[in-house]
Chain A
Amino acid sequence: MEIQLLGITVLWIFLYGYLIVASIDFGAGFFAYYGRITKKDHIINNIISRYLSPVWEVTNVFFVFFFVGLVGFFPSTAYYYGTALLVPGSIGLVLLAIRGSFYAFGNYGAKDSNLYMFLYGATGLLIPASLSTALTISEGGFMVEEGGTVVFLVKELFTSFYSWSVVFLAIVSVLYISSMFLTFYASKAKDLPALELLRKYALFWSPPTILASFLVFMSLKNHNPEHFQNMLDYSYLFMLSLFCFLTAVWLVYRKVRYGTAFLFVMLQFFFAFFGYGVSHLPYILYPYITLDTGFTNETMGIALVIAFIAGLFLLIPSLYLIMKMFLFDAKYVQGDRVK
């Protein structure tokens, strides 16, 4: 495999990882707040905080990892994205900062603050919307290079049907992924009332997710026909994704095998995300940066790949350890070991 391709694959895997873990986190925040205002918090909030408390920081690292890796492997993205994304990026950062720190303030410090819960829940839906801007921009048409500087076309972005359909998809899929995961987690905890409630949320959010995916498809056809054509070449990946979606929802509907159902949710997004990614190539940022023009020098590319592999040897056992202790440890999940 060419080193450029290896580089972007590594980054894409991390972005996929972030998509899954962050969706669980963002959605959980929303459900926790929603539970509070609908007076159902006693049912679900234990489940949510038991899962989130040990892992929220890890979620954040996936994100840092992705953007540091992107600048490392493709330094010219820093130039284009950096200039264009100052405003949406900063807003996203402020939201992330509020969310992360208020989670800690609320959970380790002052418990039971409605305001903290609100901030935590609301930002959970705004962040995916603001972060998805970066993906929207990568389709081209939202920035031009004029006289040596990059100009970001804010108005174009706000009036584009495509960009709004991406925002819509980001929000509903966060709620869908999260409720699917929490359903599984509640079933592991043998917490029946929570399971029943979360299962309802999961089924409720599944039709909008698939609807939003179709909307993104359709609007991309108008926005970037070249990319749309490429996607058709990989249509089997999207069919697989649809199949996984149907399986997951069917399992949850039948109230069986919640763990397998969540695995299918992950596969559903895996196929869709990689289908989207591979058909986007060779462009990183259409039409300014391609895989070859944006790639860092050969030496640094190799050094980064070596560092990446060495790092994985450290990370995979550690991630396994944390999952074993907090995700697959029946006693912890059921609340016996929470102190």
Chain B
Amino acid sequence: MPELDSVMLSRLLTAMTLGFHIIFATLGVGVPLLISGAEWIGIRRKDEHYRLLARRWTRGFVVTVAVGVVTGTCIGLQLSLLWPSFMEVAGQVIGLPLFLETFAFFFEAIFLGIYLYTWDRFKNPYYHWLISVPVVIGSTASAFFISTVNAFMNAPTGFELKNGEIVDIQPLVAMFNPATPTKASHVISTAYMTAAFVLAAITAFLILRKGKSEYYKKALHFTMLTGFVFAIATAIIGDFSGKYLAEYQPEKLAAAEWHFETEKGADLIVGGVLNEDGEVEHELRIPNALSILAHADPNSEVIGLEEFPEDETAPLFIHYLFDVMVGIGMFLVFLSGLYLLFVKWRKGNPYWRPLLWTIVASGPLAILAIEAGWIFSEVGRQPWVLWHMMKTSEGATTSEHVGQMFILFAALYILLGTICTTVLLKMFRKNPAETEFEQMKKR
């Protein structure tokens, strides 16, 4: 067992804050796109159902945004509080995207405020819809900028270290480092995908409970279609990410895949466990698939873990996380594809109860995949905080109070999580869609 020193505690506290924050951050990036889309369809087709959908989603969204904002503020400051030495070095190189991220956030905050309080203020309904556009742009842009910071930690470029001094800084090179394209696009597309499946899950649950009204049918179709599009996009980007890892971070890929020896035509290992001798048991092997994932060539050579010093590779449990992430991703493509097939195919019943129950499960599963993917990505670059430049242990605070702070924040997140859930449930139970639709028609 690793000892609970301030380095370990700082890691745990950062992991806890991020783990809690990304649930709300992912929804914060994804849901505005769906709200904006629903409102646009509603106006264009003069379909009050879609406009009500946008309204109701927005109302729930504000509550999650609040938690996202406050936990985002927490992680923003914790970077400096828990990793002062790291921030002193990295701040000089990645100050720009961090700064830009707050601009994007600012932009989003202003227009979200306006959007919320101007539903019936304009004669032309498109004006109100237009206000949602900066909200979508702002939230996506902030996801992009913050992903470039994380990408930089995986592929630090745009500066040189000479005798411990940072010289030759190029902020744009640091921002658009080799990891940026795959990382940022993966983060954004999974956020859109996850938001779609979470909303689809809620809708499916309500159909199961209350039967299928026009309103719910439209909601389910809209979310599942969006979910399908972004699940496919995520799969394609995921494949690029694999190729990125093979080229730039081969030890991360090798640890994720339990690929110990460098070889040509490498197998992809699915599932399995490691026994005490470090051998893989009970696994499913897909011949040559790892070579395809790494280099798009079934006979290409994939570098194994043996090539790296043992104290510079990540813990091997990340294999499970990788499998969870990819497995759920594949499952979501399949599930949404099946739903669409049932819609198109005349004999299919898209409201078949087992299918609906599976859709209910897809929301939490998508969130689980987000968590697994992030833990895989972050733990996979251990022991480095700056890849091949600065070890995590060199960046942490020396304060003795991290343990107490961990407990303080754990209590905070439990409190926020519980009350947020209660408030959301109460909000929608008290005011069902049917009554609201009737009220809307009267106006």
Contact = CB atoms under 8 A, between A and B. Distances in A.
A335 to B, nearest CB: 12
Interface stretch (B45-53, B102-110, B191-199): B102-110
B409 interface: yes
A54 B119 CA distance: 13
Contacts of A97: 70-71, 73-74, 412, 416
Nearest to B100: A307
A78 B114 CA distance: 34
Chain A contact surface mostly: helix
Interface stretch (A103-111, A170-178, A205-213, A269-277): A103-111
A65 B113 contact: no
A155 interface: no
B107 A94 contact: no
A299 B169 contact: yes
A79 B91 CA distance: 10
A54 B405 contact: no
Nearest to B430: A110
Nearest to B416: A101
A87 B405 CA distance: 7
B185 interface: no
B29 to A, nearest CB: 16
A303 interface: yes
B117 interface: yes
Interface in B59-83: 59, 62-63, 65-67, 69-74, 76-83
Count chain B CB atoms within 10 A of each CB in A101, A103, A339 and give the residue with the most. Answer: A101
Nearest to A302: B171
B424 A68 contact: no
A122 interface: no
Nearest to B398: A149
Contact of B424 (A85, A86, A94, A109): A109
B103 A311 contact: yes
Contacts of A83: 84, 397-399
Nearest to A70: B80
B96 A321 contact: no
B44 interface: no
A337 interface: yes
Contact of A300 (B66, B93, B110, B113): B93
A319 B81 contact: no
A13 to B, nearest CB: 14
B287 interface: no
Given A105-B423, A307-B103, A300 B171 contact: yes
B86 to A, nearest CB: 8
A54 B116 contact: yes
A296 B63 contact: no
A72 B416 contact: no
Contact of A60 (B59, B69, B171): B69
Interface string A75-88: 11011111101110
Contacts of B82: 82, 86
Given A78-B91, A94-B409, A110-B426, A104 B62 contact: yes
Given A69-B99, A71-B87, A82-B397, A90 B408 contact: yes
Contacts of A308: 99
Contacts of B213: none
B91 to A, nearest CB: 3
Interface string A282-322: 00000000000000110110011001100100110011011
B420 interface: yes
A318 B107 contact: yes
Interface residues of B, number: 76
B74 A93 contact: yes
Contacts of A61: 102, 105-106, 109
Interface string B322-349: 0000000000000000000000000000
A96 interface: yes
A321 B110 contact: yes
B85 interface: yes
Contacts of A78: 79-80, 84, 87-88, 91
B66 A101 contact: yes
Most buried by A among B59, B85, B95, B422: B95
B92 interface: yes
B170 interface: yes
Nearest to B119: A339
Contacts of A150: 84, 398
A320 B204 CA distance: 42
A142 B117 CA distance: 46
A73 interface: yes
A318 B104 CA distance: 12
Nearest to A326: B117
A98 interface: yes
Interface of B: 59, 62-63, 65-67, 69-74, 76-85, 87-89, 91-93, 95-96, 98-103, 105-107, 109-114, 116-121, 134, 166, 169-172, 397-399, 401-402, 404-405, 408-409, 412, 415-416, 419-420, 422-424, 426-427
25 contacts: A67-B77, A68-B98, A69-B99, A78-B88, A81-B80, A82-B80, A82-B83, A83-B84, A86-B399, A87-B404, A94-B409, A94-B412, A101-B70, A108-B63, A108-B427, A150-B84, A297-B92, A303-B172, A304-B95, A308-B99, A315-B106, A319-B110, A322-B114, A326-B117, A339-B120
Nearest 4 Cβ contacts at the A-B interface: A104-B66, A82-B84, A72-B95, A75-B91
Given A61-B102, A332-B117, 20 more contacts: A54-B113, A54-B117, A57-B69, A60-B73, A61-B109, A72-B91, A75-B91, A78-B80, A79-B87, A81-B84, A82-B83, A90-B405, A93-B73, A101-B420, A105-B423, A297-B166, A299-B170, A303-B172, A325-B114, A325-B117
Interface of A: 53-55, 57-58, 60-61, 63-65, 67-69, 71-73, 75-76, 78-83, 85-87, 89-91, 93-94, 96-98, 100-105, 108-110, 149-150, 152, 296-297, 299-300, 303-304, 307-308, 311, 314-315, 318-319, 321-322, 325-326, 332, 337-339
